[in-house]
């Protein structure tokens, strides 16, 4: 049995927490490969090491030298090492990092040092070998992960090792330069290691006891989700449920490796299991979880007889493609088509240019723009073949006095996306949560 364990920033925040991590690893012999984030916040108002390093990069760009922010990084790591009573020569390691940061002058390289240093400390604490992600995680020409090469190199590096600590968050590009994933990317690194060693389980240790059915900032004390399928996870994390990086399922999915979300500070809690979709067992809830995001723009296009005009959608999509704009959803009717786009992509006059070009491309009767739209995703395998789910959903939203601006339901019946005005976002989420989770009738839909 092999378990790969990834520990997030809060779990690595200080010596006491790192000791906790060491205890968790010691409690199970199967926990052989460990992936770590950089130390995160120790308390509200504290600064994550990664953020200090981004500041360091700005300092280097402006002055050529690491400044005060890097000094804080050094103090944090030296503090941790002395707290843990390790004999690691941290000062030399930090001096080397400083020199390299000043030489490389690269933002990604600078940010990556948080995970590098944290993995060095963790390896020393556990007495495990350290494996630098730079040597095994490789990005391809297009900037995306080169999965095949990465899995092979990681497997080779870990073969024959009983235990190891691998640094999270970064790898190396084709030119031999360090490149990071997007923020929170150590989750992806953990999934890569799990895939490479053929782990039985990818344990992702964080500071919450698993996935919650809803954002706790909106609904007080929402239910914990005991089991999620990969597909449900993808839908929920894409739509803002951010326990796990949304790209972390790709490496493990193809190998059917389950992910278990666990809480470093409450290891006895069950957490959430994320399982291959085929292994998902219906737990009784029609809806597994609710997530959402604010600030979308809808571009609505209407033209009579649109349905018989061959190439209509192609021409409109061509406009978006030329401007490098991706869209989230495309609900359509016989003579209408809408594009839901993240408003951030349409700033600085882009929206105006796009609508003009759509007019030129397809000569529509109407092009209208609605902004300040929020999307709410109601996700769950239990919705499929469950009669009356949408009726309950829309009834609940209507009872809350919220107007639905857009609806999109995938034919897999895994999710229903509802668009509402930003100002109604929280109200709508509360209403949906109450309908599917807190009402007496909440549990079971009628299965057709």
Interacting residues toward ligand ASP by CB under 6 A: 9, 37-38, 48, 50, 114, 168-169, 183-186
Least separation in angstroms between residue 133's CB and ligand ASP is: 11
Q: Looking at beta carbons only, is 37 or 389 nearer to ligand ASP?
A: 37
Q: Looking at beta carbons only, is 50 or 264 nearer to ligand ASP?
A: 50
Is the Cα torsion angle 136, 140, 145, 150 positive or negative in sign? negative
Least separation in angstroms between residue 18's CB and ligand ASP is: 15
Do the beta carbons of residue 233 and residue 274 sit within 8 Å?
yes
Least separation in angstroms between residue 188's CB and ligand ASP is: 8
Least separation in angstroms between residue 57's CB and ligand ASP is: 14
Do the beta carbons of residue 68 and residue 38 sit within 8 Å?
no
Exposure on the CB side of residue 15, measured as CA atoms within 13 A: 13
Among 202, 256, 176, 279, smallest CA distance to 1 is for 202
Q: Looking at beta carbons only, is 50 or 150 nearer to ligand ASP?
A: 50
User: Measured between alpha carbons, how far is 353 from 349 in angstroms, rounded to an integer?
Assistant: 6
User: Measured between alpha carbons, how far is 28 from 366 in angstroms, rounded to an integer?
Assistant: 63
Q: Looking at beta carbons only, is 113 or 253 nearer to ligand ASP?
A: 113
Q: Looking at beta carbons only, is 53 or 287 nearer to ligand ASP?
A: 53
User: Measured between alpha carbons, how far is 400 from 45 in angstroms, rounded to an integer?
Assistant: 36
Q: Looking at beta carbons only, is 81 or 119 nearer to ligand ASP?
A: 119
Least separation in angstroms between residue 48's CB and ligand ASP is: 5
Q: Looking at beta carbons only, is 181 or 437 nearer to ligand ASP?
A: 181
Least separation in angstroms between residue 237's CB and ligand ASP is: 14
Q: Looking at beta carbons only, is 14 or 408 nearer to ligand ASP?
A: 14
**What Cα–Cα distance (Å) separates residue 334 from each residue in 205, 305, 318?**
48, 8, 20
Q: Looking at beta carbons only, is 48 or 134 nearer to ligand ASP?
A: 48
Least separation in angstroms between residue 46's CB and ligand ASP is: 13
Q: Looking at beta carbons only, is 9 or 258 nearer to ligand ASP?
A: 9
Do the beta carbons of residue 218 and residue 207 sit within 8 Å?
no
Do the beta carbons of residue 133 and residue 167 sit within 8 Å?
yes
Least separation in angstroms between residue 43's CB and ligand ASP is: 16
Taking each helix axis from N to C end, the angle separating 389-399 and 425-433, rounded to the nearest 10 degrees, works out to 130
CB atoms under 10 Å from CB of 243, counted, come to 21
Least separation in angstroms between residue 104's CB and ligand ASP is: 18
Least separation in angstroms between residue 156's CB and ligand ASP is: 24
């Amino acid at each position: 049995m092999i378990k790969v364990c990834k520990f997030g920033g809060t779990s690595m925040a200080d010596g006491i927490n790192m000791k906790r991590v060491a205890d968790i690893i010691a409690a199970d012999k199967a926990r052989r490969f460990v992936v770590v984030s950089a130390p995160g916040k120790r308390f509200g108002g504290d600064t994550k090491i990664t953020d200090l390093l981004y500041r360091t990069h700005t300092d280097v760009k402006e002055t050529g030298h690491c400044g005060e922010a890097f000094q804080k990084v050094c103090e944090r790591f030296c503090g941790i090492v002395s707290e843990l009573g390790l004999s690691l020569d941290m000062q030399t390691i930090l001096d080397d990092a400083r020199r390299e940061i000043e030489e490389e002058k690269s933002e990604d390289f600078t940010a990556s040092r948080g995970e590098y240093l944290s993995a060095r400390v963790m390896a020393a604490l556990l007495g495990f070998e350290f494996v630098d992600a730079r040597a095994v995680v490789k990005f391809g020409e297009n900037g995306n992960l080169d999965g095949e090469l990465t899995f092979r190199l990681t497997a080779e590096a870990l073969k024959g090792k009983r235990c190891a600590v691998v640094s999270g968050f970064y790898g190396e590009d084709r030119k031999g330069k360090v490149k990071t994933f997007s923020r929170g990317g150590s989750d992806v690194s953990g999934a890569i290691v799990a895939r490479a060693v053929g782990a039985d389980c990818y344990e992702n240790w964080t500071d919450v006891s698993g996935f919650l059915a809803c954002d706790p900032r909106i609904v007080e004390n929402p239910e914990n989700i005991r089991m999620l399928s990969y597909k449900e996870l993808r839908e929920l994390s894409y739509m803002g449920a951010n326990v796990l990086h949304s790209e972390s399922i790709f490496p493990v999915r193809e190998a059917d490796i389950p992910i278990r979300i666990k809480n470093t500070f409450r290891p006895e809690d069950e957490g959430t299991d994320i399982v291959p979709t085929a292994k998902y067992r219906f737990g009784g809830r029609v809806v597994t979880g609710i997530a959402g995001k604010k600030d979308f723009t809808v571009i609505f296009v209407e033209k009579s007889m649109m349905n018989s005009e061959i190439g209509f959608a192609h021409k409109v999509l061509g406009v978006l493609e030329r401007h490098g704009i991706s869209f989230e959803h495309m609900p359509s009717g016989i003579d209408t088509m809408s594009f839901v786009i993240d408003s951030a992509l349409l700033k600085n006059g882009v929206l105006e240019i796009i609508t003009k070009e759509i007019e030129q491309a397809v000569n529509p009767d109407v092009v209208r723009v609605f902004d300040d739209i929020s999307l709410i995703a109601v996700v769950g395998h239990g919705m499929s073949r469950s009669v009356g789910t949408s009726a309950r959903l829309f009834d609940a939203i209507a009872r809350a006095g919220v107007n639905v601006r857009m609806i999109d339901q995938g034919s897999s019946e895994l999710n229903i996306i509802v668009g509402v005005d930003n100002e109604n976002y929280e109200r709508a989420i509360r209403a949906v949560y109450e309908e599917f989770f807190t009402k007496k009738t909440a549990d079971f839909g009628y299965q057709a």
